[in-house]
């Protein structure tokens, strides 16, 4: 779906507030290309992209979406230039410091998915503090996937269950889809109904591989720094037109 289609979809109708997806996940893609188009360093795109995330999280709260999950930094992103990695980590630090003071007022609680052990001790401490404060916040839950990979998440979950079996604490026949979900970073969070990827790329890039089983996908050409409330509306309107059968047949 191109940008023209996104605009047309926006004009074609309104979001049905009674049929909102409970959980929306977004692959925040296109920061580097946005900056390059403007003759700016890639880091400039990440800075604008961080502001877009703040705005979209607030808009999800306004709409009544319960969960928003964003792909901020993958396990593969460490391969990027060091100055770009440093900028992303700096933006995350800045956001967490601001969020610690504003979460209660804004009613946006944060949770981090991923392997935090690779982060600096300072960032690990901030993640722990942010998670602790968020437990007492009643509002939209924004899940930030940081040093996250879908395959890594599944592998860690399988290992954790296998270790419990080896210790005699669990038996293989006890493992169900629901039980396995409790070993994932996303334990306690419902699977996303809608996964959005801007920037024109049409792939998941190792994002929420277990959780995406019955998600609806929405792709658009808009680069993440240009992603707006109207773009999100268009994605939701498109989602609400889908016939979700979960493998069955509509009667």
- The answer, yes or no, to whether residue 9 has pLDDT greater than 50, is no
Instruction: Supply the pLDDT for residue 249.
Output: 58
Phi, psi (degrees; rounded to nearest 5) at 218: -135, 120
Percentage of the chain beyond pLDDT 90 is 86
Dist CA 137 CA 103 (whole Å): 7
Tell me which residues are annotated as active site.
29, 77
Structure tokens given for 130? 């942010």
- Enter the pTM of the model: 0.90
Q: Could you read off the pLDDT of 84-126 as tens digits, one per residue?
A: 999 999 999 999 999 888 888 899 999 999 999 999 999 999 9
Percentage of the chain beyond pLDDT 70 is 92
Question: CB of 140 within 8 A of CB of 57?
Answer: yes
Q: Is 58 exposed, middle or buried (0-12, 13-18, 19+ CB in 10 A)?
A: middle
Strand order of the β-sheet with 216-219 is: 108-113, 140-148, 67-74, 23-27, 194-197, 216-219
Instruction: Supply the pLDDT for residue 104.
Output: 86
Dist CA 165 CA 62 (whole Å): 44
CATH code: domain 3-9+23-240 is 3.40.1180.10
């Amino acid at each position: 779906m191109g940008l023209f289609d996104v605009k047309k979809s926006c004009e074609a109708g309104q979001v049905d507030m009674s049929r909102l997806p409970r959980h929306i996940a977004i692959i925040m893609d296109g920061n580097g290309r946005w900056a390059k188009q403007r003759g700016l360093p890639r880091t400039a795109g990440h800075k604008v992209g961080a502001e877009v995330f703040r705005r979209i999280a607030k808009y999800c709260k306004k709409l009544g979406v319960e969960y928003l999950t964003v792909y901020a930094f993958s396990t593969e992103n460490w391969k990027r230039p060091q100055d770009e990695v440093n900028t992303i980590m700096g933006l995350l630090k800045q956001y967490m410091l601001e969020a610690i003071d504003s979460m209660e007022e804004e009613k946006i609680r944060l949770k981090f998915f991923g392997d935090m052990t690779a982060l600096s001790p300072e960032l690990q401490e901030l993640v722990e503090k942010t998670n602790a404060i968020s437990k007492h916040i009643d509002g939209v839950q924004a899940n930030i996937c940081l040093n996250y990979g879908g395959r890594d998440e599944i592998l860690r979950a399988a290992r954790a269950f296998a270790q419990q079996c080896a210790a005699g604490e669990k038996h293989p026949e006890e493992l169900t889809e629901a039980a396995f979900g409790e070993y994932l970073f996303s334990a306690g969070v419902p699977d996303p109904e809608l996964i959005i990827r801007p920037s024109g790329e049409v792939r998941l890039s190792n994002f929420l591989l277990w959780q995406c089983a019955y998600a609806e996908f929405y792709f658009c050409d808009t680069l993440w720094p240009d992603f707006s409330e109207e773009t999100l509306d268009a994605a939701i309107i498109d989602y609400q037109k889908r016939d979700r059968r979960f493998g069955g047949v509509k009667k």
